[in-house]
Amino acid sequence: MRRFASDPDFRAGFAEMLPACVGLVPFGLVCGVGAAAAGASALAALGLSAIVFSGAAQILAVELLAAGAPVAVVVLTCFVAGLRFVIYSAAMAPYLRALSPRWQKGLAFLLTDQAFAASVRRFDAGGDAHAGSLHFAGGGFALWSMWQLTNIAGYLMGNVIPASWSLDFAVPLCFIALVAPHLRTVPTIAAALCAGVAVLALGGLPMRLNLIAAGVLGIVAGTFADLARERWTPR
Amino acid sequence: MDASLKLWTVIVVVGALNYASRLSFIAIFARREVPPLLARAFRYVPAAMLTALVLPMVVAAPGAATSPDVPRIVAAIAAFGAAFVTHSTLKTLGVGMMTLWIAQAVAKGIG
């Protein structure tokens, strides 16, 4: 650990992630409150945030378990919601190819929405793969540590935060901050629109199955729009 | 199944699956060619999944009886604009929460 703490790239990555960490404080608190409300023990709440390390999956898991959904449904929903990590993984892979397999496996654990957004900017700016990976590790470590602290704080404080503050609204806001900048091409807008309409129209489905259905429909719509654009664009 | 065992099963299985997703192209399929149609579909996963996650949280407060929740929708639209222009999580949070609190106060005044 000391080797990392004194590395300038690791430290820069850590420092540059701090604003995003502040943004995730309310989200982490909400996740901790959710785990407590679902009756998780302190150890299980910590296991959830430390091992799963994904706010969306954590919220879905405690919500579905509290609603009495079977384990298979909880696992499937969280898995589909986490499929975006596959995309991030594919986008990161070329930058990490030169690194040792062990280092790759460690870095993969730290792959999150925020770490991905920050690291792609950094890798695209150039520089060597090793420095870039240390930068990514620094940012990922900052996010992971902050995530554990805020989750534990939320679990212990529970409903100390007044409901009238609507702190839970910080969760969709964090995702809006991630998705809005992407909606600049016709196929991405088609994917988002189709998924959005579907998730609301299918809201009556039990156990949040509307989420999986809407995600799949949105992906299909985006892919079709992309293929159609290619087919009809004059060359 | 007892509730605690159920939760730990979810933690371990979802943790493993999420890690496998994160690791997928970095290590597992690193040397394999992705079918072109799949690669194309992958590009639209974030837009579709994140939108599907967000919208139900926006149109109604958790456990609320009133739906749609107009102040939340107004605040989400303002936050969307802020995110689109600034690309900043902090500014999106600031604009979104401020708009929500103002819109809730106004809605209370009208109601």
pLDDT tens digits along B68-78: 899 999 999 99
So what's the ipTM on this one? 0.89
Chain B positions touching A22 (Cβ under 8 A) are 90
Q: Is A127 left (phi over 0), alpha (psi -120 to 50) or beta?
A: left
Confidence of residue A81 (pLDDT cuts 50, 70, 90): confident
Residue range B83-110: mean pLDDT, rounded: 94
Query: Taking all residues of chain A, what is their mean pLDDT, rounded to a whole number?
Result: 90
Mutate to test the interface with B, among A79, A169, A208, A209 (most CBs of B within 10 A): A169
Percent of chain A with pLDDT over 90: 57
Rounded to an integer, what distance in angstroms lies between the CA atom of residue A153 and that of residue B82?
29
Element spanning B97, H or E: helix B89-110
Inter-chain CB proximity B34 and A218 less than 8 Å = no
- Give the pLDDT score at B59: 92
Q: Which of A156, A204, A75 is nearest to B10 (CA)?
A: A75
